Amino acid sequence: MGKGREKLKKVAWVALFLLLAALLVGAAEGVLNPKEETMLAFYDEPKNTVDVLFVGGSHAAAAFDPIQLWQQHGYTGYTLYSWGQPAWTSYHYVVEALKTQTPQVVVVEGFGFLYGRSYLEEVNFDSVSDDFSLRIRPGANRVALAMAMSRWQVNSRPWYRYAPLLRYHGRWKTLTLEDFTWPFWDHATTAKGFGPNFTTEAFAAPARPESPPPADLYPGCEEYLLKLIELAEREGFQLVVATAPYVVEDASEWSVLQRIQDICEANGVLALDYNQATLLDESGFSFETDMAEHAHVNLYGAEKITAHIGGQLAEHFALEDRRDEPAFAHWHEAAAVEYWDKTLMRLRLSPTAAQWFPRMAEENLAAFVVTRGARFDQGDNAPLLEGFAALGMDTEVLRGGGSYLAVVDGGRLQRQDAGGPADTLEASYALGEGEVYLQASEEQVVLRYGETNYALDYDGVHVLVVDKTDGSVVKCVVFRPEEGCITRTD
Amino acid sequence: MTRQQVFERLNRVFQDVFDNEALAVGDATTAADVPGWDSLMHIRLMGAVEDEFDMVFDMKDVVSLQNVGEMADIIMAKGH
Amino acid sequence: MQFTSLPFAAFLCGAAAVFFLLPPAARRLFLAAASLFVYCYPSPWQGAFLLLSVALTYGGARLLDRTEGPRTRRLLLAAGAVLNLAFLLFFKYYNFAAQNLAALCGLLGLAAPLPALALVAPVGISFYTFQSLGYLVDVYRRQTQPERNIVTYTLFVAFFPQVQAGPISRSTSLLPQLRSPAPAFDGKRVERSLLLAGWGLFKKLVIADRLAIFVGNVFDGHAGGTGAVAVAAVVLFAFQMYCDFSGYTAMALGIAGLFGYRLDPNFQLPYFSGTIPEFWRRWHMTLGSWFRDYLFYPILRNRRLNRLAKAARKTLPKTLANNIPVVVGLVVVWFCTGFWHGTGWNYIVWGLYHGLLIILSTLAGPWLKKRGQALGLPLEGRAFALFRVVRTFALVCVGYVFFRSASLGAALGLFARLWGGAGPAALWDGTLLQYGLDGADFAVALAGLAVLFAVEFAQRKRDLLAWVPAQRRLVRWAVYLVGILVLLVFGMYGEGYVEKPFLYFQF
């Protein structure tokens, strides 16, 4: 009897030691693992407030804008993404999200189901997925995801998937205070997971064949698509599969996209393949202006996709417009912040004059214009001239190629001076703590704010835009006549 | 030979090999107890003991002797 | 399979669990099977040579035991030894022989007679060949009874903690343990063994593999370091070498101890030695004692050699003549030691260098001591003791230049680089950070060395392996938990790290 008790005591002590060791390793993981802002932000989002959950990889982060959804429909949305997200990761992310939220609609981005069948080779997909998919909280769901990854992904580094510490312990060299203190502050963001791209690359719209030959999905993808459908039924949310546009190059990918469509339709799931001509037309998406590069949509594309998807959600599901609910007042604040960020972003995007000038009529922006010698009488300069006119600025001097300077503060023209090509004009304007000095002379153009002269060494209309909320420079561009009013910046 | 006689003669051999007049060995003496008793000296010692007692040690004895007592046993069995 | 790999850790856990759950009668068979399994797993063909060595020496020993005639016995032993060594010699030294023969023929204007082959030596062949050969000789000398049970004998040769890189066990120390019934589970013993293995892992993963980056870049890199940087690399290599090999040995001993078996130690605080002979009594002890018992002693006691020495007394001074067997023995043993370590002239030079130092120490040592005493030097004081330790360490470091360099030419090149070049200021002005190891890693390596020093200083007075597990639970657990954390965080393993096999695997 006594011996048995002795043994039990020893076993208990060993078990306690192992428990302590596990806790210590867990704490070390908490410090050493790279902190994934997107996940931390999601966990800190107030519980059970998200009605529409977007899940996917970088394609999703680029295309779905929850704040825009809020502004247009009052739906509370969130984009939960991880880079390089294959189908099984999407599934487990939905499971993870259901721990803190009760969405009514879950929109899964379709690229994850194209694993093994798209331009992105498995090895490359895997290496990104290995890096990012497992950055969720430790628990049964993470273990299940690790098992799914080990089963379906081509790369096989199984140990590191179950114990990320083995992979990231080298970060001890680059630890910051944040690595120790991250549990103590709120990571919730205003963007709600939206991560737009700012560049534009023009493409020809990919030609989709009438009826592509049938194809199947990668086995793991089909399995997890069906598991998602099953999960939706079990948990009581509506599943939507939305595939963001990208430049489809391989003919076989059309077949795979069609297969996704077919599976969804067979199971009564709303499928929105934005690569289809009908949806492209409906949303007004254009491959010429709305792609950042061959794989991701840009800011303008996101605007169109989100607007269209919002309409689809309104049409198919009975979601609540929460814009008047006092509990969701903080969403309005978030929207205001996001709106400002987007305005600045669009200015930084180097658009055409037609896109630029209307945005300068913002209360929190100050614009400074100087030109000398550039003649805008030939070619298509209409957008620039219209933009000038809309703000009340003199367009004759532009046609004649003379010297000109102007200040537009808070959307209103404060002063403008015009002169001939040989004249020297200068002005000073107090802006917040600093001062802006403008000069147009025969030798040079000066747009000095603080210590720096932002005027570039080109002939054309120089415009310096300053964010009045914090006194920082948004952008300085040059509109040049011979290039048809395309901005040029350095 | 009695064991006592063996040890008397052994002591002389040890004192000669290790150049130490004060050296005295007993049954329990090991290599660690005598300064300078390394592998080289061990062979020299074995050779000197063989000369003294007109005998030959087996290789296995050379390698595995643990203390002087064992050495004395072998000498009593084989030596003259 | 590398000790420091995760698959091996999984294997070890599984094997230990099964071992202790099995009835004692079945444990030996299981351990032998598990040893063969883990040996063959990475590359099955190697198992064939291991089993060949086992079969040869097992059969040879039983035959030897039954034979009476001294000549026949000698013949049997010779045949067994030659056959057993043949594989080792072929796999390790064929290409070396072919290359040198080709060079020689080239000088004479002849074509190379032997083609170069793409040979991969089976893992541990240098070690298990010696171990099984030692057993054969022990049976010949009637020091050991031949083992009748083939399972026990296979386990003796293939026991997985020691088959890859030693310690080289003797039939008198390991075989009796394997013959007796498997020891019962003992929690304290398991705790001690894990502590030892963990300490070995610390030395290997935290210190040795870190230093290896710096050392490797200075020795083998193109922007080779000079002056103080080269000196630093040599000194740090001395510690890398020690931490790597003693770390491996500690792990081997710890893992064997887990199952209840005691292997012979390989190291006894070697860098605290005062002389080179003492160093070799404390460094890689099982190899040293193997060469002593199976090569050195037979040479010294060879009758023909001793008769030659006696005859030489007529022409040469007495002391010189008397020392002929010793010198011959030392030269042969140290040539073989160098040769055993690697197939390159730099290893042979390294071996003979140490051999020369030992010859000098043996022949001139007593004379120097008398001179020193006559001059009234404070030979007993602590200052002198410290001087001896530093002197020995420096001599060992000089040897390491040959040992670590890729070739004899590279070694001489490094010697040339030691003079001139970077001055002592290079040690703290950041020059050291240009060889692949940044400040943070250097700090950890040096901190590791500081811990090593502290532990080894304490070890001189007290057996820490017995002392730590005897402390209060709070203290013990603190040590273990901190140790685990240090290993996990600061170990050189995982993505972005190149896995470094134990240095002695290549031997």
Residue A322: which of A61, A64, A77, A63 has the closest Cα?
A77
At residue C506, does pLDDT exceed 80?
no
Burial class (CB in 10 A: 0-12, 13-18, 19+), A352: middle
Cβ neighbours, 10 Å, residue A247: 16
- Are A25 and C489 a contacting pair, CB within 8 Å? no
Which ranges constitute the DSSP H helices of A292-447?
A: 299-316, 329-348, 353-359, 382-390, 396-400
Residue C126: which of C349, C343, C341 has the closest Cα?
C341
What angle, rounded to 10 degrees, do the helices at C125-140 and C70-108 form? 150
Whether cis (ω within 30° of 0) applies to the bond prior to C167 is: yes
The ipTM, to two decimals, is 0.90
**In-domain check, residue A246:** yes
- The helix (run of H) or strand (run of E) holding residue B77 is helix B68-78
Q: Could you read off the pLDDT of A312-342 as tens digits, one per residue?
A: 999 999 999 999 999 899 999 999 888 888 8
**C141–B40: do the CB atoms touch at under 8 Å?**
no
- Are B75 and B53 a contacting pair, CB within 8 Å? yes
Widest CA span in chain A? 110
At residue C368, does pLDDT exceed 60?
yes
Model pLDDT, residue C108: 83
C327 inside 8 A of chain B by CB: no
What number is the average pLDDT over the span C77-90?
A: 92
Q: Could you read off the pLDDT of A27-57 as tens digits, one per residue?
A: 998 899 888 888 889 999 999 999 999 999 9
C184 inside 8 A of chain A by CB: no
Model pLDDT, residue B2: 87
Together in a domain, A336 and A402: no
B54 inside 8 A of chain C by CB: no
Model pLDDT, residue A483: 64
Model pLDDT, residue A482: 66
**In-domain check, residue A359:** yes
Model pLDDT, residue A373: 75
Mutation target for C interface from B43, B46, B61: give the one with most C CBs within 10 A. B43
Task: For chains A and B, tell me whether 3 or more CB atom pairs sit within 8 A of each other.
Answer: no
- Cα(C187)–Cα(A13) distance, integer angstroms: 12
Length of chain A: 490
Show residues of chain B in contact with C298, CB under 8 Å. 59
Together in a domain, A82 and A187: yes
Query: Can you tell me whether residue B20 is helix, strand or coil?
Result: coil
- Cα(C404)–Cα(C341) distance, integer angstroms: 11
**C362–B46: do the CB atoms touch at under 8 Å?**
no
In CATH, what number is assigned to the domain containing residue A163? Answer: 3.40.50.1110
B64 inside 8 A of chain C by CB: yes
- Are C247 and C204 a contacting pair, CB within 8 Å? yes
Q: In which residue are the tokens 């010189």 written? A: C320
Measured between CA atoms, the residue of chain C closest to residue A127 is: C495
Model pLDDT, residue C208: 95
Mutation target for C interface from B59, B62, B66: give the one with most C CBs within 10 A. B59
**In-domain check, residue A149:** yes
CA dist A301 → A249, C21, C292 (Å): 19, 65, 81
C326 inside 8 A of chain B by CB: yes
Give the nearest partner residue to B43 out of C142, C172, C300, using CB atoms: C300
- Cα(C87)–Cα(B57) distance, integer angstroms: 33
For C188, how many CA atoms within 13 A lie in the half-sphere containing its CB? 7
Instruction: Give chain A's residues under pLDDT 50.
Output: none
- Are B53 and B73 a contacting pair, CB within 8 Å? no
DSSP class of residue A33 equals S
Measured between CA atoms, the residue of chain B closest to residue C327 is: B40
Residue C218: which of C204, C203, C235 has the closest Cα?
C235
C477 inside 8 A of chain A by CB: yes
C467 inside 8 A of chain B by CB: no
- Are A282 and A304 a contacting pair, CB within 8 Å? no
The CA radius of gyration of chain C, in Å to the nearest whole number, is 24
- Bridge-partner residues for A438, per DSSP? A427, A447
**In-domain check, residue A48:** yes
Q: Could you read off the pLDDT of A437-463 as tens digits, one per residue?
A: 998 887 888 888 888 888 877 778 888
**In-domain check, residue A53:** yes
Domain count, chain A: 3
Sign of the C-alpha dihedral, residues B47, B50, B56, B57?
negative
Model pLDDT, residue A350: 61
- Tell me which of A342, A370, A398 is where a domain ends: A342
Q: In which residue are the tokens 């004192």 written? A: B15
Together in a domain, A1 and A61: no
Give the nearest partner residue to C440 out of A17, A21, A173, using CB atoms: A173
- Residue by residue, DSSP assigns C407-449 as SHHHHHHHHHHHSSSS-GGGGTSSGGGGSS--HHHHHHHHHHH
Model pLDDT, residue C36: 94
Measured between CA atoms, the residue of chain B closest to residue C326 is: B40
- Tell me which of A288, A308, A342 is where a domain ends: A342
Which ranges constitute the DSSP H helices of A33-139?
A: 37-44, 58-63, 66-73, 87-97, 122-132
CA dist A152 → A80, A219, A249, C404 (Å): 22, 8, 25, 45
B58 inside 8 A of chain C by CB: yes
Domain count, chain B: 1
Chains A–C, number of C-beta pairs less than 8 Å apart = 45
- Are A112 and A80 a contacting pair, CB within 8 Å? no
Query: Can you tell me whether residue C149 is helix, strand or coil?
Result: coil
- Bridge-partner residues for A425, per DSSP? A440
At residue C445, does pLDDT exceed 80?
yes
Together in a domain, A25 and A91: no
A236 inside 8 A of chain C by CB: no
- Cα(A194)–Cα(C24) distance, integer angstroms: 64
| Bigger pLDDT: A133 vs C225 | A133
Kindly state the tokens that stand for A21: 């060791």
Together in a domain, A324 and A255: yes
- Are A49 and A189 a contacting pair, CB within 8 Å? no
**C481–A32: do the CB atoms touch at under 8 Å?**
no
Model pLDDT, residue C497: 65
- Cα(A14)–Cα(C62) distance, integer angstroms: 46
- Are B6 and B34 a contacting pair, CB within 8 Å? no
Give the nearest partner residue to C495 out of A17, A25, A160, using CB atoms: A160
DSSP class of residue C296 equals I
| Phi and psi torsions of A469, nearest 5° | -70, -30
Together in a domain, A318 and A376: no
- Are B22 and B65 a contacting pair, CB within 8 Å? no
> What mean pLDDT value characterizes chain C?
89
Sign of the C-alpha dihedral, residues A257, A258, A262, A264?
positive
Residue A86: which of A234, A255, A218 has the closest Cα?
A218
> What mean pLDDT value characterizes chain B?
89
**In-domain check, residue A231:** yes
Together in a domain, A174 and A241: yes
Cβ neighbours, 10 Å, residue C392: 21
At residue C413, does pLDDT exceed 80?
yes
pLDDT-derived band at B38 (thresholds 50, 70, 90) equals confident
Query: Can you tell me whether residue A417 is helix, strand or coil?
Result: strand
Together in a domain, A57 and A9: no
DSSP class of residue A168 equals H
**B60–C141: do the CB atoms touch at under 8 Å?**
yes
Nearest C-alpha of chain A: how many angstroms from C496? 9
Together in a domain, A106 and A174: yes
**In-domain check, residue A347:** no
Show residues of chain B in contact with C306, CB under 8 Å. 47
CA C36 centroid distance within chain: 22
Together in a domain, A107 and A147: yes
Structural domain boundaries, residue A378: 352-488
Beta strands in A198-254 (DSSP E): 238-243
Structural domain boundaries, residue B10: 3-78
Q: In which residue are the tokens 């825009």 written? A: A68
Query: Can you tell me whether residue A372 is helix, strand or coil?
Result: strand
DSSP class of residue A486 equals B
Contact partners for chain C, using 3 or more CB pairs closer than 8 A, are A, B
- Bridge-partner residues for C206, per DSSP? none
- Cα-based angle A284, A285, A286 (whole degrees, multiple of 5): 115
What totals of helices (H) and strands (E) does chain A contain, helices first? Answer: 18, 15
Together in a domain, A371 and A422: yes
Nearby residues of A282 by Cβ (< 8 Å), 6 or more positions away: A308
Task: For chains A and C, tell me whether 3 or more CB atom pairs sit within 8 A of each other.
Answer: yes
Query: Can you tell me whether residue A78 is helix, strand or coil?
Result: strand
